[in-house]
């Protein structure tokens, strides 16, 4: 009888790392663009790229949730119950933020009355009518969602490093994109 792989299925692993690259790129562009000169061509270019990557991140997050719901997770590693519950809660919250953050950006873009072309290929519809009063609230929410996700990713990374360097229990290998399981 074949032994069950302790690794996540390949689709989950690849979507995880692709999502990480996409979120990091979108975040770096977002952090960089806000300090650029208003009305400048480079700023418009970076905003357009940030928005297109954000919409792509939303689609990828939706796909990740669907694949994850359809995929059986490997058995959890031995750990105290509170750590397993904390890991589960953190993952659920990260999934929620991976959906909420780009949705908040799309909604912010909508109430700002801005167009939302996806890499110049087609225009996405507005999610709400122009509303200058709601714009500031959504801008603040978008920023808070980003920093909350960044904090959870840092916590996630700290947990992975704990498993890799202190516990040496193979947790990281379960999610690496390539190699033999």
pLDDT in tens, 23-70: 999 999 999 999 999 999 999 999 999 999 999 999 999 999 999 999
Structure-block tokens of residue 60:
């990828």
Nearest by Cα to 50 from 13, 101, 99, 2: 101
* Beta carbons of 102 and 118 less than 8 angstroms apart: no
Q: Cα 155 to chain center, whole Å? A: 14
Nearest by Cα to 104 from 139, 75, 129, 73: 139
- Tens digit of each residue's pLDDT (9 = 90 or more) over 144-180: 999 999 999 999 999 999 999 999 999 999 999 886 5
Rounded average pLDDT over 91-117: 97
pLDDT band at 6 (very low <50, low <70, confident <90, very high): confident
């Amino acid at each position: 009888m074949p032994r069950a792989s302790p690794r996540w299925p390949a689709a989950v692993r690849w979507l995880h790392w692709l999502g990480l690259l996409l979120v990091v790129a979108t975040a770096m562009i977002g952090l960089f663009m806000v300090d650029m000169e208003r009305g400048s061509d480079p700023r418009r270019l970076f905003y357009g790229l940030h928005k297109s990557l954000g919409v792509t991140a939303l689609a990828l997050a939706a796909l990740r949730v669907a694949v994850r719901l359809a995929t059986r997770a490997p058995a959890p590693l031995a750990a105290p119950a509170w750590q397993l519950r904390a890991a589960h809660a953190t993952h659920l919250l990260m999934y929620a933020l991976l959906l909420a953050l780009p949705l908040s950006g799309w909604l912010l873009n909508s109430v700002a009355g801005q167009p939302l072309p996806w890499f110049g290929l087609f225009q996405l519809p507005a999610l709400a009518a122009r509303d200058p009063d709601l714009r500031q609230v959504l801008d603040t929410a978008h920023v808070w969602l980003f920093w909350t996700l960044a904090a959870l990713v840092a916590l996630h990374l700290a947990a992975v490093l704990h498993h890799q360097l202190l516990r040496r229990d193979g947790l990281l290998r379960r999610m690496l994109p390539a190699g033999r399981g």
